Structure formats: structure tokens, C-alpha cells
Amino acid sequence: MVEGRKKSRTFRRVKVKTPGGKTVTQYKRRKPSKAKCADCKAVLKGVTRALPKKMQNTPKTKKRPARAYAGVLCTKCTRKKITQKARQ
Amino acid sequence: MIETGRLCIKTAGRDAGKKCVIVEILDNKFVLIDGETRRKKCNQMHLEPLKDKIDIKKGASHADVAAEFKKIGLKARETKPKAKKVRPRRLRRSKLAGQAAAEPEDKKTKKTIQKTAKKSVKKTKKKEDKKESTSEQKKDQKD
């Protein structure tokens, strides 16, 4: 049987040149999807997008901004939420 | 609403969601704030004014603001100045040799200095040995 990764496109294909001079296709995991705002679904800026193994070694401060609701809401929605809470 | 002593909530940046008080109005756009946030120049548009007011003077110091905040039950942000560390630094060998004689304070630096001093002694010895050996060889060749 053919391997699953060769039939489907769940793995991305990377062409790599080996030291021997051959070009070989390697099958690698795709990056996870971009982080999105929980309110307006806009793509969040400043949130790293990498495989979980790489995320383990990156410090927390490099994964998301240092704001309230960082990594969850976009800046516009955070401002809205904070102002709403203040006016209650 | 924007006046000295007005309690506000910051809506943008690192201190977003934290309470602060307007200490001074700098111009028609910027104000100086202090409190749970850092003491900073801040755009008026990044503040959400609240109903409460604190009685502080214009340009009040951080200590005054902290005392007033304590009365309300809030805690002002305190920044600790970093303690200076004494780092062991590499020096030139010629200097180290002099220092090794006059005892250094820290144990670590003492060790490193001793090590380097030993190394330098060894090196000089080797050089001398080499010189001697080469001179001897030359003599042999001559003979």
C-alpha cells in the first residue's frame, strides 16, 4: 500500500537537495491556522504561528502581545470591551 | 471630563484595562498619567474617563498618587530599580598577575584569576623551554 502522506495533501511537500546531489521530496507537517479574534474573526497580529514543538521552546512573551485580552481579541475589540465595562 | 485628578481606564497598549489618574494636561492632545499604569505621557484618545475624581495637585509626585490610590483601595504600580550585579570581567594577563598577589574579594573571580595566572606562567615557561631547546639543536647542528 502507498503511504497515507503520499496520497493526501495533509503533509506539505518540500524539495530538499541532499549532500549527494539528489533532490528529494520530504513530507512535513503544515503550519497551524492563523489565530483569529474571538469577536470579529479578524486575523490577529503579533501571535506566532508555528508547530507545537517549536512553540514549546519559544518564550511566552514572544507568542502574543503584552496587552489585556492578548491573543484572544483584536485591538479594536479589546478597546470596545474595556470601554463597555467602564461605562456600566 | 479630561482634568487633573480624573480617574481613567487605559484602553490601548500594554497597560490596557488598568486604572490611572490624570496628573497633568500637557496640551490639547496629551496628558500625563500615573497609577496602576506606568507614569507616562498618554494620548487622550487612549483613555476612558470614569465618574470618580481624586484630589491631587497638578504634576503630583508618584508617592502622592500612590497614597491617594491606597485610600480608594487601588494599588499603584511600583517599579523596583534593578540591583547592580558585579560581573567577573576578563582582564589582561599582565594586570591579572599583579592582582593575584593582592587578594581579590570574590571567590569566583579569585579562582579565574588564579587559573589565568597559572596559564600565563605555563606559557612563559614553555616559551623559555622552546628557546632553550632550539638553541641546543642549533648547537648540535653546528657541531
Q: Are residues A72 and A46 in the same domain?
A: yes
Q: Give the other-Cβ count within 10 Å of B47's Cβ.
A: 22
Helices (H), chain B: 62-72, 93-101, 107-142
Q: What value does the mean pLDDT take over residues B129-137? A: 63
Q: Amino acid identity, residue A21? A: G
Residue B90: per-residue pLDDT:
80
Q: Are residues A44 and A16 in the same domain?
A: no
Residue of B nearest to A80 (CA): B11
Q: Are residues A60 and A86 in the same domain?
A: yes
Query: Which of A61, A64, A67 to mutate against chain B (most B CBs within 10 Å)?
Result: A67
Q: Are residues A52 and A88 in the same domain?
A: yes
Residue of A nearest to B52 (CA): A86
Q: Are residues A41 and A2 in the same domain?
A: no
pLDDT band at residue B135 using 50, 70 and 90 as cut-offs:
low
pLDDT band at residue B122 using 50, 70 and 90 as cut-offs:
low
What is the spatial distance between Cα A58 and Cα B122, in angstroms, rounded to a whole number?
44
Q: Are residues A56 and A71 in the same domain?
A: yes
Q: Are residues A24 and A38 in the same domain?
A: no
Residue B132: per-residue pLDDT:
65
Across the interface, whether the CB atoms of B11 and A79 are under 8 A apart is answered: yes
Looking at the structure of chain A, the number of domains it has is 2
Q: Are residues A53 and A63 in the same domain?
A: yes
Residue of A nearest to B45 (CA): A79
Q: What percent of chain A has pLDDT over 90?
A: 90
Q: What value does the mean pLDDT take over residues A38-53? A: 93
Contact B7, B50 (CB under 8 A): yes
Domain that holds residue A75: 31-88
Q: Chain A: give the shortest CA distance to residue B69, in Å.
A: 18
Q: Are residues A66 and A38 in the same domain?
A: yes
**Complex prediction ipTM:** 0.73
Contact B45, B22 (CB under 8 A): no
Model-level pTM greater than 0.80? no
Residues of A in contact with B12 (CB under 8 A): 75, 79
Q: Is pLDDT of A39 > 80?
A: yes
Q: Amino acid identity, residue A31? A: K
Selecting from A67, A83, A87 the residue whose C-beta is nearest the C-beta of B13 gives A67
Q: Is pLDDT of A17 > 90?
A: yes
Q: Is pLDDT of A28 > 90?
A: yes
Q: Is pLDDT of B43 > 90?
A: yes
Q: What value does the mean pLDDT take over residues A24-31? A: 94
Residue B104: per-residue pLDDT:
52
Residue B97: per-residue pLDDT:
74
Q: What value does the mean pLDDT take over residues A17-41? A: 95
Q: Are residues A41 and A74 in the same domain?
A: yes
Average pLDDT, chain B: 81
> Three-state DSSP class for B130?
helix
Q: Are residues A17 and A35 in the same domain?
A: no
Q: Is pLDDT of A61 > 80?
A: yes
Could you tell me which residues of chain B have a Cβ less than 8 Å from any Cβ in chain A?
Answer: 9, 11-14, 16-18, 48, 50
